[in-house]
Amino acid sequence: MTAVREAITLPMVFLTVVLLAAVRVPGALSFEPPSLFSLVLAAMALGALVQSGTLDSNRLVGFRRSGLERMSGTIVVVTMFAATASIFTLVTPASGLPAVAFACFLFVSLLLVLSAAVDRVRLLRLLAVLLGSAFVLKFVVLAALSTPAEGSVTRALQVLFDGVTLGTIAQAEVGPATGYLAFIAIALYLTGIWMLPPAGWVIVRELRADAPGAPRLVEAPNGSIGTGRRD
């Protein structure tokens, strides 16, 4: 990783994500800080990034680096953590049953990622799918259900959902600009995660003859990714 990417590009990308994720424009411009639960999710995501080799902490804050280099690496980690917490707050509804459901969904998903010990490529795909699906559910599905209905069919559906969920599914109106900013923030965040310095090893799966179909996680240098089988 170049010095320019570490000292300038990555912090600017993650700080931009923090700003875009905090903006709310349903009417007057406002800013929403990360929630406490999003900090827990961000810590879990940070652990998954290190575990999968997507982020090599030694290349940012290792003892072999100089003091100035460790300071620069610390800024990258802190801004990345803040951006992660802001993104999770962004894709989580503000209140009601959807807020509880989304929180449980994100927590269980990250817990499964940590227990599965996925590699860098799979983790990037999982983050893209996780954040993308949460974005669609909040800014498309829930926004449509919370917007005042114009047609009789749409009004009937809203009454049905309000009756089933005891009125807890409705959310505060989200302006269209907030959805566009959220999409840009998620895209920038995933780009920043992809730009992080990866570890010098990768996780591969080796199939053993004594346990057919059971993978075993091993470490191998980059460039030797593959699946082996013992005879």
- Residues 223 and 116 both lie in one domain: no
- Residues 161 and 231 both lie in one domain: no
- Residues 144 and 229 both lie in one domain: no
Structural domain tally of the chain?
2
- The residues with which 24 forms a beta bridge, in sequence order, are 30
- Residues 52 and 156 both lie in one domain: yes
Domain that holds residue 117: 3-199
- Residues 63 and 163 both lie in one domain: yes
- Predicted confidence (pLDDT) at residue 172 exceeds the cutoff of 70: no
- Residues 188 and 210 both lie in one domain: no
Whether the Cβ atoms of residue 174 and residue 139 lie closer than 8 Å to each other: yes
More confident residue, 30 or 111: 111
Whether the Cβ atoms of residue 175 and residue 25 lie closer than 8 Å to each other: yes
Query: pLDDT value at position 166?
Result: 45
Query: pLDDT value at position 59?
Result: 87
- Residues 142 and 99 both lie in one domain: yes
Query: pLDDT value at position 198?
Result: 87
- Residues 187 and 231 both lie in one domain: no
- Residues 118 and 169 both lie in one domain: yes
pLDDT tens-digit readout, 42-81:
999 999 999 988 998 888 888 888 888 889 999 999 999 9
- Residues 101 and 152 both lie in one domain: yes
- Residues 122 and 72 both lie in one domain: yes
- Candidates 32, 11, 9; CA nearest to 20 is 32
Query: For helices 176-195 and 67-91, what crossing angle results, to 10°?
Result: 140
Is the model's pTM score more than 0.75?
yes
